[in-house]
A and B are shown apart, each in its own frame.
Chain A
């Protein structure tokens, strides 16, 4: 019964899944219990007080966006990142690249892994940013659609190109000008995330899978196909399969893609829409094939020979996690120096060798070959020309579209 080993899930998976549930669940049960015992509290509060508490417009930040830059005086920078998104040495306590940065610049990095979910983190920093206050963070990492939303709301600061010579020179062409931040005025890529099709050879049992259509239509895969609960990844892959460009689709195209997925849901083809937890379904064989994130698949493949991935002919989606400096951050220059540091080929290679995501830095291959030849030749980490040509990005959405599309997608996934 090797399946019962508790370490089947990597700490990162467990942390990610746990974090995305814990808060909400505890709140719900506690609240339900309290409600039952003290339902009268509301009546006592009186309805008059209700109208007093509206939520102010998000865009209107009071005061300026920048605080006094204390970078020269205080040699620190506070960096909030996702879990397992930074190189760690064997003891598990040190981050070699961050320590290099400190040795070189004298700037100490307060590194916290407190981002586990874009939506959740947005909820966390929203009150401060909306009120024009410091979040206590100088540098944050957010996925492109949320980065775009923060830029749209005016909650992040414009970067100073003078502090970013390497970043400017070495950013891969593929990531240079997303429509939500043309010319990268506010953001730089931390890592790229490719969305591909992953499969379990044993569970497929000879069934040939080459495209999203195979996942949606092949009756032999009924009930053993997984899609991601991340709207842009699932819809993006479906749009590509239908011959539409996710960078330019219309509302009708979107509806058609949702309808296509809905048909597969209705006939029981799609088993579940998952977050990171698809990895356990895939390794146990409950998913024969699923839409998956390449960074995970590189890891799963190393652990199990049955797991592999493929890139459909129609192309694949690439999203990015981006470094941003929130309004009122106190160490803007230090944060910019940290961004620039990770665009030097050597630290970038060390990071890429450790975390297996798409490296956004040009000229890393030679450095990476010295550390890990396999990684240097893995197109999922350093995309070659053919790979880069098939990569697509999801277009940015207006606030109204975002709400509308997310609501339609929520309906598709059952709520």
Chain B
């Protein structure tokens, strides 16, 4: 902070101009921080404390809830709902990898090869955001309908036999199976992958590619040794922006899935709104938060990148 508030060098004594704005300058950073801090305090820190408190309470709607430091709720919630946790991580992880595989070539194309089409393609990437998340997910129900052309084609090509064998689909349908949920997650979060990838790819100096070529690197080697390492910040932030919301998502699992594809987001929703078991819902939220935080920390450490985009 001190570097920011350093006062300007003292003026020469013979020039008694206006006093340096020292006093005002000292407080400027705090004033700038204030709105953000207040916002975080009211809408993040306080609800967090409230939820943390809820998670160690016991009681019922009629009798009220009291803080009894009942930490067993955490253990009970985890032992009852660990399959949904595992599922959330698996689905979100798979969707993130798929997003990376689909998004990287596209971002690469936009950054280096699109030429005058660049803006148009960027708009197309963002365009789905113009309609509601829910409508987009419901559209997938039409696309993947049992009697629809897509599922018909997949059946003819025996693709669904393979996915069934992998446990991703059931019988000759896609909807109401894990595959549908993963597809929905991939689709809905793909732009969150593409945008940061594009930003970091676009920043790479084209002359580096030329230099690699001059040093007899083949295109693949150039990509492996130059482009990809330089795009790592985009890869890391893209995967985070995809994985974190996908792990907490419950709309896709609810609309495209079935009873055996419910994710932890669905459990929290059900416990909070239907069963009215507020402590369990709060405990599940905190476990999810801790798990994501842990995974993200390990991931960032391993990927060895400090700046995200």
A residues sitting closer than 8 Å to B (CB atoms) are: 3-4, 6, 8-9, 14, 17-18, 21-22, 24-25, 28-29, 31-36, 38-39, 41-42, 44-45, 49-60, 117, 119-120, 123, 152-153, 203, 222-224, 231, 265, 268, 270-273, 277, 280-281, 284-286, 399-400, 402-403, 406-407, 410, 412-415
Do B250 and A29 touch across chains, with their CB atoms under 8 A apart? no
Do A277 and B49 touch across chains, with their CB atoms under 8 A apart? no
A400 to B176, CA, bound (A): 33
B-side contacts of A286, CB under 8 Å = 141, 145-147, 173, 175-176
Do A25 and B60 touch across chains, with their CB atoms under 8 A apart? no
Do B265 and A28 touch across chains, with their CB atoms under 8 A apart? yes
A405 to B66, CA, bound (A): 23
Residue of A nearest to B295 (CB): A36
A41 to B258, CA, bound (A): 36
Do B146 and A32 touch across chains, with their CB atoms under 8 A apart? no
Q: Quick check: is B45 within 8 A (CB to CB) of the other chain?
A: yes
Do A271 and B132 touch across chains, with their CB atoms under 8 A apart? no
Q: Quick check: is B18 within 8 A (CB to CB) of the other chain?
A: no
Instruction: Name the residue among A28, A285, A414 with the largest chain B CB count within 10 angstroms.
Output: A414
Main SS of chain A's interface residues? helix
10 further A-B pairs in the complex, CB-CB below 8 A; given A29-B245, A39-B289, A412-B259 = A4-B139, A9-B138, A21-B133, A42-B49, A49-B49, A50-B53, A59-B62, A272-B258, A284-B141, A284-B142
A-side contacts of B248, CB under 8 Å = 28-29, 31-32
Interface residue from B53, B142, B254, B258 paired with A51 (Cβ < 8 Å): B53
Do A24 and B275 touch across chains, with their CB atoms under 8 A apart? no
A375 to B161, CA, bound (A): 48
> How many contacts between A and B, using CB within 8 angstroms?
200
A291 to B145, CA, bound (A): 20
Do A32 and B251 touch across chains, with their CB atoms under 8 A apart? no
Known: A28-B265, A59-B62, A286-B175. A407 touches B54 (CB 8 A): no
Do A223 and B173 touch across chains, with their CB atoms under 8 A apart? yes
Main SS of chain B's interface residues? helix
B residues sitting closer than 8 Å to A (CB atoms) are: 40, 44-45, 48-50, 52-54, 56-57, 59-67, 69, 81, 84, 132-135, 138-139, 141-142, 145-148, 170-171, 173, 175-176, 240, 244-245, 247-251, 254-255, 257-262, 265-271, 273-278, 285, 288-289, 292-293, 296
A-side contacts of B62, CB under 8 Å = 57-59, 152-153, 399
Give the 9 A-B CB pairs with smallest separation, nearest first: A57-B64, A414-B262, A414-B259, A415-B267, A29-B245, A119-B273, A55-B65, A50-B53, A415-B262
Expressed in whole angstroms, the minimum distance between the Cβ of A158 and any Cβ of chain B is 20
B-side contacts of A35, CB under 8 Å = 289, 292-293
